[in-house]
Amino acid sequence: MPVSQSLWNMIEGKMEITEEFEQKVTETPVERTAEDVFSTQIKALQIVAMWPNFKQNSNMELFTRALLKINTFVLAYCTLALFVKGLLTQDLVDRSEAMDIFTLTTSALYKMIFFYTHHKEMDDMVNWGAALAHQVPPKWMQYTTFFSCFHNFMGIFSITFWGLCPIFKWIFGETDLDGMTLPINVYDPIGVTGAMYSVFYIVCDYGLLSAVQIYMASDAYLFTAIHLAIGGFETLNNKLRKMGQINFNKGPTVNDSMNEYLKDCVKLHTHILIYIRKIDRLFRSMIMADVLHAIISLSFAMLQASESKGIFENMKMAMFVSYCIVHQYLNSYFGQNLIDQQEILNKELLISVPWNDGSKEMKKSYQIMMAGCPKSVRLSAWSVYTLQYATFLEFVKSMISYFMVLRQVQDQTVKQP
């Protein structure tokens, strides 16, 4: 089956993406490997055992699996202890201190296990990205490593300050040694002290750090993948724009040239569409986890911030809330850019391609590309939450609404005798 016919069937929903079809689409020699394109992002995932590194190294395999078990145990403990605390406490602010981190550790635990168990599909996705990397504009990917490292650093910096906040409060006299609390508000029925307190402190702090590292590594991986797809659309739009600037003269030879040129565009368009569908299929559940965490966590965190006392508590909550909002905005930013590029593609097809002057075969290729544009792929959580600016604004509205409800409940509780 020709690639153009396969794309037509895929657009109409008449066929699944098969290995044979993928092989036809990726006939162009790959100049860069997945390790070249996603090197930093994969290393960030490997830090928390989200990406296995089993290549010719049995010791690394054992270490990765041991680290995965440790992370799973710590995050599961933190999640359960936070949930029990939030369930048993009668104070709304106390519950807020537990629930904002409960959603973080829960979603982080899910992401870590999902990445590890779906490693083969993730690896296939980055290989498709590597095959697309030589088709993006020059220097398109030059800042992805810096952005990934900076994003990772800021997340770790924010949560490190959170974890050390009880120590800072003790050092600067905001509390005494007996009044020090654990980094997260876990259920503690016996009131651990001494050496046991130190052990629980380290475990809770490690849970915080690993949860945020999971989030930051997942972000860097997803954002790089989307940015790569956007670069593919940028190249495709430039090719179509260039086609409109070429002075084609009518004739059989020119018609063949136009058709071959447009068929190359169809091939690139097909590759990008399949690549985006792979991203969407793998990340839709994690996008849902992101949204649920963001709305619940930020609503409770804002209530906690409004009740916090002391400079360190205020700084801790300000950094946490700010970076949670930044994280959600970046999701929408890259998703919106992907949508915008597909809309530009539709415009370039209408304006730049001289389809009236082409042959029958060329018009068929043009029709196939046009059929793919109105059904542009949008990254979403089963259409419940789409990564775009409009849904980000709805998210902010929902977060503020839930915070106001919590604030009202807290005020009424305080007024009661």
pLDDT tens for 221-241 read 999 999 999 999 999 999 888
Structural Rg of the chain based on CA atoms: 25
The identity of residue 220, as a single letter, is A
CA–CA dist 410, 83 (Å, integer): 20
pLDDT tens for 377-401 read 788 887 788 889 988 998 888 888 9
**pLDDT at res. 35:** 67
Q: Tens-digit pLDDT profile for the chain (417 aa)? A: 444 444 444 444 443 444 444 444 444 444 566 667 888 999 999 999 998 875 657 788 888 889 999 999 999 999 999 999 999 988 888 898 899 899 999 999 999 999 999 988 998 898 898 888 888 998 898 899 999 999 999 999 999 999 999 999 999 988 888 888 899 989 988 888 888 999 999 999 999 999 999 999 999 999 999 999 999 999 999 988 887 766 555 555 556 677 788 888 888 988 999 999 999 999 999 999 998 998 899 898 898 888 888 899 999 999 999 999 999 999 999 999 999 998 888 888 888 777 666 667 777 777 777 776 766 678 888 778 888 998 899 888 888 898 898 888 888 877 765
Instruction: Tell me, yes or no, whether 108 lies in a domain.
Output: no
Number of domains in the chain: 1
Cα 202 to chain centroid distance, Å, stands at: 28
Instruction: Tell me, yes or no, whether 178 lies in a domain.
Output: no
Instruction: Tell me, yes or no, whether 221 lies in a domain.
Output: yes
Instruction: Tell me, yes or no, whether 196 lies in a domain.
Output: no
Instruction: Tell me, yes or no, whether 180 lies in a domain.
Output: no
| CA-based nearest residue to 385, from 282, 278, 292 | 292
Instruction: Tell me, yes or no, whether 10 lies in a domain.
Output: no
Our CA angle for 396, 311, 301, nearest 5°, is 25
CA–CA dist 290, 412 (Å, integer): 31
The token pair at 161 is 């300050």
Task: Give the SS3 label for residue 166.
Answer: helix
**Inter-residue contact 218 to 108 (CB < 8 Å):** no
Instruction: Tell me, yes or no, whether 337 lies in a domain.
Output: yes
Instruction: Tell me, yes or no, whether 35 lies in a domain.
Output: no
Domain span holding position 398: 120-170+211-415
pLDDT tens for 318-355 read 999 999 999 999 999 999 999 999 888 888 888 877 76
**Inter-residue contact 82 to 144 (CB < 8 Å):** no
